[in-house]
Amino acid sequence: MTAAPSVSAGRPPWTGARWFKVLLYAFAVATPLGWSTVAFVYLGMNAWGRSISFERALLAGLPDWYLWAAATPIVFWLGERFRIERAVWFSSGVIHLLAGALVALSEVALKTGLNQLVGVAAFPGPLRDVYIRSTLQSFHFNFMNYWVIVAAAHAARYYHSYREQELAASQLQTELTQAQLAALQMQIQPHFFFNTLHAIATLVRDGRGDAAIDTLARLGDLFRETLSNAKRHEVRLRDELAFVDAYLDIERVRFSDRLDVRMHIEPGVQEARLPSMSLQPLVENAIRHGIALDASATLLAVEARRSNGRLHIEIRNDGPSYRADVPRDARRGLGLANIRARLSRLYGAQYRLDVSAGPKGGAIVVLEVPWRTGPEAHADRPAEGASG
């Protein structure tokens, strides 16, 4: 299976449109802050008895905020690029300390030069002395402004990541529903449904009423189990095997003594989790493309074990040998495409789904997923690709 392209983990790309959007938001915030500062300085100073012209109050309030608005896209980018996270908090923190100091000092320099240019310097004296006094007065305020913007960048990225997770979860739920509907459709396909009814009728004619009732009950269990998992992404291997067993009980009636099912389940693996409705389609394919096509074929083997921190499952059959040269679309089989899509959604690149020819004919399907026994996964990270 070819690898899917990697997806940005919660960070939208920095295009020209995004630079402009951040700049626009920054000026939208800076404008009311700037004008409120102008009003505060003008009214406050005059109320205090220290007369100040409106023009001077204007120059004291607006340039400072608009300079920060102009610097916001750069600081925002730094905040997204160097995140304060557990694995990199020290290196990112050092970068932000240095960048924050540089941006704060640069903003003071630009504001001081602008004030000198228009003749409204905050302090008397040469430019160098004015810059030093302005730095002592404004550095900490500017440094805090830098960190406020960095915090906003973190918040925006977390929000974007949350939206991506919501979308991924929604897509996973859609795929899961499609898998369940596909399984239900398989179960009521004419060949399956009528073959099961024919087997039940044969049991009734032969006077085996209990077996007929049991088969009907199994058919009902199969339908009910399919619908009951409507909102579950993962189930325990124990539950998935129980569902497969209900399906095989019906197929045993259909194939009578021809179906030789061999289960080799390693102790302790039944609590491991795997995607809901992932084994039954694989078992169905093994019967449909092996035993059903060859009267001499009988074997269906299912093996599950823990291997290198992963749940390893093999499904083998005899019968017609698997041919890798057949186009993928022609040999994909019922549910395989959906299983691959859901595996990718749940585990990213950390899964395996391979189909190969058996040494003596038939096919071998290998399914591997990360070993999990805890709570159900909820597609809480974007897929980075897939193997298999």
What pLDDT tens digit does each residue of the chain (388 aa) get? 333 333 344 566 777 777 888 888 888 888 888 888 878 777 877 777 777 777 777 777 778 888 888 888 889 888 888 888 888 888 888 998 999 899 888 888 888 877 776 666 556 667 777 788 878 888 888 889 899 999 888 888 888 888 888 887 777 777 776 666 566 545 545 555 676 777 788 788 888 788 788 888 877 777 776 666 655 678 899 989 988 888 888 888 777 778 899 999 999 999 999 988 788 889 988 888 888 888 888 899 999 999 999 999 999 999 888 876 655 444 444 457 778 877 887 888 899 999 998 888 889 999 999 999 876 654 444 333 344 4
What's the CA gap between 386 and 346, in Å, rounded? 10
Question: CB of 305 within 8 A of CB of 266?
Answer: yes
What's the CA gap between 59 and 39, in Å, rounded? 12
Helix-strand-coil percent breakdown of the chain, rounded to 5? 60, 10, 25
What's the CA gap between 264 and 305, in Å, rounded? 8
